[in-house]
Amino acid sequence: MIDDRLILTERGFLRSEALPGRQWFKHLIYGPHGDTGSMIDFFPGIADAICRKNAEREARIRHEIWRVARAIQRGASALRGEFSPEFEGQRLCLLQSNLKMRG
């Protein structure tokens, strides 16, 4: 059961869409640096928003912080075993795939 919670926690840290300029990467907590790709950024969406120089910068920063906060809340709920309907669907898929692997 704890393994399921850890998997759901990690899945909760993924964005639905890719990070800007890194179409293959969706993690909200860590990711490759946008310019070099060889360094690691923590909270890459927030870091990207801070580096932008346009009129929507502040709104983008707030939105990215909100996304990370929401992901952390989902992760905490998953670790406590408090599953939302979204997590219940993921948990069901996870349990079904575990049963297929065992059977």
CATH of the domain at 73: 1.20.930.40
Residue 92 pLDDT exceeds 70: no
Residue with more model confidence, 73 or 101: 73
13 part of a folded domain: yes
Q: What letter would DSSP give residue 41?
A: E
Residue 91 or 25, more confident: 25
Residue 51, SS3?
helix
Q: If pLDDT is split at 50, 70 and 90, which confidence band does 12 have?
A: confident
Beta-carbon count within 10 A of 101 CB: 7
Number of domains in the chain: 1
**Domain of residue 24, residue span:** 2-89
To the question of pTM greater than 0.85 for the whole model, the response is no
pLDDT at residue number 63: 92
Query: Is 98 within the bounds of a domain?
Result: no
Which residue do the tokens 């909760």 mark? 12
Asked if residue 83 is part of any domain, the answer here is: yes
Nearest in space to 21 (alpha carbons), one of 58, 47, 59, 56: 47
Asked if the structure places residue 94 within a domain, the reply is no
pLDDT in tens, 50-90: 988 888 899 999 999 999 999 999 889 888 888 655 555 65
* Residue 85 belongs to a domain: yes
Phi, psi (rounded to 5 degrees) for 36? -100, -35
* 103: in domain: no
pLDDT tens, position by position, 23-43: 778 888 988 876 666 788 899
**What pLDDT does residue 3 have?**
81
